[in-house]
Amino acid sequence: MKTRVFAALLCALLLAFSLALSEQAEQAEPRYTPDQIDLDLAPLSATVVYPQTFEMMMYPHEYEGKVVRIRGYLDHFLDGETVYTACVVPDVTACCMQGIEFVWEGERAYPDDYPPVGKALTVTGRLECYTLNDFDYIHMVDVDIVWGEEVLQLYSAPLPGDPAPAL
């Protein structure tokens, strides 16, 4: 009886340890060194980030190829079969948000494999332009993601495609 309990506890401990290691492995080797970052928005206030990201959206080709780091909160939305992810920075009055879309590498099933909207993160990546329906957009590719612990309530109502809240 003691052997079975010990074996079960050992298996649970090994499983928890392997999950923790796999989560760390995703963030362990950063692609970018601090001197490779062209535009570091992470330490700036939302008041400064808003106009800078707005300018990047208005003139995407001027920023193409630049490496950017931004700190904010995860947002994702579904357009047909496509899931778009972004790091958004709410402003002080919580009326407006600005952020940068990023391409999250790997295969994920929406919404099961996505953290909740509002999860804190810092994203570093290279900006790339793309055209969709005759409009130019910019997003970050080759990203490093560092997840924070905080989850901010970004919206008061669930978005289409979001899972129902647990009661």
Quote the pLDDT of residue 104. 86
For the stretch 127-148, pLDDT in tens is: 999 999 999 999 999 999 999 9
Residue 65: CB atoms within 10 A of its CB come to 10
User: With bands split at pLDDT 50, 70 and 90, how would you rate the model's confidence at 25?
Assistant: very low
| Alpha-carbon span 125 to 141, nearest angstrom | 5
β-bridge mates for residue 73, sequence order: 88, 120
Judge: domain 31-151, CATH 3.30.470.10.
no
- Residue 125 contacts residue 142 (beta carbons within 8 Å): yes
- H-helix segments, the chain: 2-28, 46-58
Higher pLDDT, 153 or 125: 125
Query: What tokens appear for 84 in the block?
Result: 């778009």
| Alpha-carbon span 33 to 56, nearest angstrom | 22
- Residue 92 contacts residue 109 (beta carbons within 8 Å): no
Total-model pTM = 0.73
Determine what percent of the chain is predicted with pLDDT higher than 70. 74
